[in-house]
Amino acid sequence: MAKRCLIVSYYFPPAGGGGVQRIVKWIKYLSRKDWAFTVITAPVEKEIIPQDSSLTSEAGSETKIIYAGSGKPVTQESVLKTALKLNISNYLKRWVSAFLFIPDSRKNWLPHLRSALASELKQHKYDCILFSIPPYSIAMEAAETAEKMDIPVILDLRDPWSANPYKIHPSKFHENKDRGLEFAAISKIPNIISAYQNTVSLYKKYINSFDDKNYIVIPNGYDEEDFDSLKAVKHDPAHFHIGFSGTFYSHLNNPAPLFKAAAALKKKNPEAGEKIRFHHIGRSMINLKKTARKFGIAEQIIEQSWLPHRKALEYLSGMDALTFILDDRCKNSGNTVGGKVYEYLRLQKPILALVPDKGEAADLIKNTNSGSDISPSDTRGIAALLADWLEKSPNYEYKNIEQFERSRQAEALVLFLEDICAGQNKTGV
C-alpha cells in the first residue's frame, strides 16, 4: 500500500520558477516509489510569479492539489500600493515590506492554510506532512502542527531563512526578531531537510534542542529527463556568449561587476572585448541596458523575457559560458548557491562564478571543477579570465555532478521519509 504524504508548498505549478521545481521533482520521482501526494498551495499570483504550465504534468494526474484561500493573499506589491501610493524602486518596495512584515508578507496566507490543513487531515489519513519554505511564515504553522498532532512533520528549507542574503532586514531589531522566530520554529519541528549544509551548521550551533539525528541535507539539483533530446538554440559564432538565468536584483546579484570587467577588457583589447555578448533569461528589477550603458557596452547586452523551463534550458545550452553573481560584501552571501547553478553543471558549460571565495557557491564550483570562482570586486581578475576564455576555450572536468541528479536525490529522500514514518530518524548528507 502506498505511503501518503501531505505537502504544504506556497509555490506550485502552474506557478513557475526555480522554487517550484524542488517539490515537483520530488513528487515525480517518489510517486515511482509507491508514494502518493496531496499538495496544499496558494492561489496563483499571475501578475507576480511567472507561469509555467509545462511543469504541471510533472506532478502527475494522481497528485491531489488544494488551492487554499480565495483571491490573492496580501503581497509586497499590494501592501505598498495601498499604504504608500508612491512610485518607488523595487528595492525600496521590498525594504518597506520587510519593515512591515516579519518574517514575510505572506504570513496573511496562514489562516487559509490552517483551515485547509485541518479539513484535509480530518477527512484523510497521511503518513507524514512536509512543509516547504520559503515563505518562512509557513514554518510557524509547521511548528504548531508538530506540537498539536501525532503525525510526523518535516520542514524543507529550500533556502536559508534569516541567513539568506536575498532577505532584507531593515534594522537589527528586524534581524533579531526574524532569527528569533526562526529558532523558535525550528526547535519545535522534529525533522529537517535543508538544501544547504551551512543552514544545518547554524542550527547545530545555536539551537540546543537541534538533534543530529533529525536532519538530512539534500541540495537543489537537476533532472536528467529535462535534458533528453535538448535542442540548443544557436547563437552567432562570431561572438562569445555568456548566459544568466533568473532574476536580477539591485543588491546581491547586480551584474554591474561583470559589465565593468567586460568594459575594462574592451578598453584594453577592443577586438577581444567586442566579442562578448551577455544574455539574460528572466526578469530584472534593474534596468540592464541603463547599467550597461554606464560602461559603454549596452549594445552587447541581449535580454530575453522569462521562458518556460525547457525553453530556458535550450537557450542556455547554446551559450559559451554561464554566470551567476553573489556580492561578497553581504555577510550572508556564502550561505546560498541558487537552484539554476545545478542545471548549469549539467549543461557542462564553463561557469563564471562571481562569488565570495568562501561559501557554498565557491565550494560547489571547486568540488565539481566546473568553472572559476572570483570575487565580484576583482575587476582586473574577471577581465583577465574573460580574456583567457576568449583566447582559448576553457577546459573543466565537471566531476561529481551526478550526485545532484533528482532521481538519485529521491533515493536519499525516500529512505529519510520511511525512517521518519517508522520512527527511526537518521542523519544523512
pLDDT band at 224 (very low <50, low <70, confident <90, very high): very high
**How far is it, in rounded angstroms, from Cα 24 to Cα 26?**
5
Helix (H, G, I), strand (E, B) or coil at 116: helix
Structure confidence at residue 383 (pLDDT): 98
User: Tell me, what's the pLDDT at 81?
Assistant: 52
Asked whether residue 70 carries a pLDDT value surpassing 80, the answer given is: no
Q: Residue 306: CB partners within 8 Å, gap ≥ 6?
A: 16, 50, 281, 282, 283
pLDDT band at 72 (very low <50, low <70, confident <90, very high): low
What does the pLDDT look like over 200-212, one tens digit per residue?
A: 999 999 999 898 7
3-state helix, strand, coil split of the chain in percent (to 5) is 45, 15, 40
Torsion over CA: 309, 315, 317, 321 (sign):
negative
- More confident: 391 or 57: 391
pLDDT band at 213 (very low <50, low <70, confident <90, very high): confident
Class of domain 225-401: alpha beta
CA-to-CA distance for 309 and 111, rounded, in angstroms?
A: 32
* CA 306 – CA 312 distance, rounded (Å): 8
Nearest to 183 by CA among 145, 209, 214, 159: 209
- Per-residue pLDDT band for 71 (boundaries 50, 70, 90) equals very low
Cα angle 27-30-32, degrees, rounded to a multiple of 5: 110
Percent of the chain having pLDDT more than 70?
A: 93
- Could you tell me the end-to-end alpha-carbon distance of the chain, in angstroms, rounded to an integer? 28
pLDDT for residue 281: 96
Please say if the pLDDT value at position 125 is more than 70.
yes
pLDDT above 50 for 115: yes
Strand partners, 351: 322, 371
Work out the average pLDDT over 59-70: 89
pLDDT band at 73 (very low <50, low <70, confident <90, very high): very low
Express each pLDDT in 275-325 by its tens digit: 999 999 999 999 999 999 999 999 999 999 889 999 999 999 999 999 999
To 10 degrees, the CA torsion angle through 290, 294, 297, 299? 30
Q: What angle do CA 114, 119, 124 make, to 5 degrees?
A: 125
C-alpha distances in angstroms, 369 versus 194, 325, 339, 373? Answer: 24, 18, 18, 10
Provide CATH code, domain 3-221+405-421.
Answer: 3.40.50.2000
pLDDT band at 94 (very low <50, low <70, confident <90, very high): confident
Residue 300 Cα to chain centre, angstroms? 28
Q: Are 198 and 160 in contact (CB under 8 A)?
A: yes
∠ CA 355-357-360, rounded to 5°: 70
How many residues are recorded in the chain? Answer: 429
| pLDDT of amino acid 428 | 38
Q: Band of the pLDDT at 86, cuts 50, 70, 90?
A: low
Task: Tell me where in the chain the CATH 3.40.50.2000 domain(s) lie.
Answer: 3-221+405-421, 225-401
Nearest CA-CA partner of 138 in 174, 170, 114: 114
Average pLDDT over the chain reads: 92
36 and 72 Cβ atoms separated by less than 8 Å: no
Separation between Cα atoms, residue 402 and residue 324, nearest integer Å: 21
For residue 327, name the pLDDT band (cuts at 50, 70, 90).
very high
Least confident of 20-24, 124-128, 211-215, 236-240: 211-215
What pLDDT score does 52 carry? 82
The confidence score (pLDDT) of residue 427 equals: 39
Strands lying side by side in the sheet with 64-67: 64-67, 35-41, 3-9, 128-133, 153-157, 191-194, 215-217
List Cβ neighbours of 113 (8 Å cut-off, separation of 6 or more).
8, 40, 68, 69, 138, 141
Mean pLDDT value of segment 70-84: 51
Q: Does the structure show a pLDDT above 50 at 146?
A: yes
CA distance 254 to 419: 43
Residue 92 has pLDDT above 50, yes or no: yes
